[in-house]
Structure 1
């Protein structure tokens, strides 16, 4: 008759469990705790994936020419929108006004992205509804 193996946790099991716990805490901090968004809301304009300019939100109008298209960007103290564009689909114009950090406007034909950064994070309640 053979004897059954020892099934008690050992030092290596404890080390693996500790490593997993430390990595879980580090990941959670990176996702939820490491994003200190403060300061003024800023519009970041990227063309072909390269940041071209950062604009403070104030009464202004900018013209962006990229990919053979012209976009007229409008800024106020609280929001940003594409007022007009000569791109064929007009998705950037139909996106409407953006006013919170993390929101963006994308014009695929011109390869332009306008996104908002900074400012105060506002919890609006429901993030998504499934089902």
Structure 2
């Protein structure tokens, strides 16, 4: 009789198989989301909202541009280059909007909480078919 209360457990072939299946499913799901985002139709547009109200829309394909927004005493400088957008400079205390970095795909956003400014990227145009219906 063993003095241990539980037998020593070792990973077996079935454990490795389950782990491999989980990894393959994760890679397939990540690949599907990546392909869907890169092959989407329509023009990539930035939507700037202040205090929950939409203030401006502009296409990222319009070339290089710089926009400045001021709200609640804070100023954000947006920079558009190569179809991507980033906050180049902000005078808010946390600088989270600056540290977000560059965004360039639909669904991504930059938020400045002290200034209450949200910049979201959306696709305009293209097909508006239903993606999925459940139930």
Q: Structure 2 length normalisation: TM-score?
A: 0.59
User: 5+ residue gaps in structure 1?
Assistant: 1-36, 121-131
Q: 2:53 aligns with which of 50, 55, 59?
A: 50
Query: Which string of whole-angstrom CA distances, capped at 9 and with x for unpartnered residues, describes residues 42-87 of structure 1?
Result: 0000000000000111210000001110000001242100000000
Q: Distance in 2 between matches of 1:113 and 1:43?
A: 10
Secondary structure at 1:97 match in 2: coil
1:103 aligns with 2:115: no
Query: Which string of whole-angstrom CA distances, capped at 9 and with x for unpartnered residues, describes residues 79-131 of structure 1?
Result: 100000000000000000001000000000000000100068xxxxxxxxxxx
Q: 2:43 aligns with which of 40, 44, 53?
A: 40
Aligned-residue RMSD, C-alpha: 1.5
Q: Distance in 1 between matches of 2:41 and 2:48?
A: 19
Q: 2:84 aligns with which of 79, 86, 101?
A: 79
Say how many residue pairs are matched: 84
Q: Which runs of 4+ in 1 moved over 2 A?
A: none
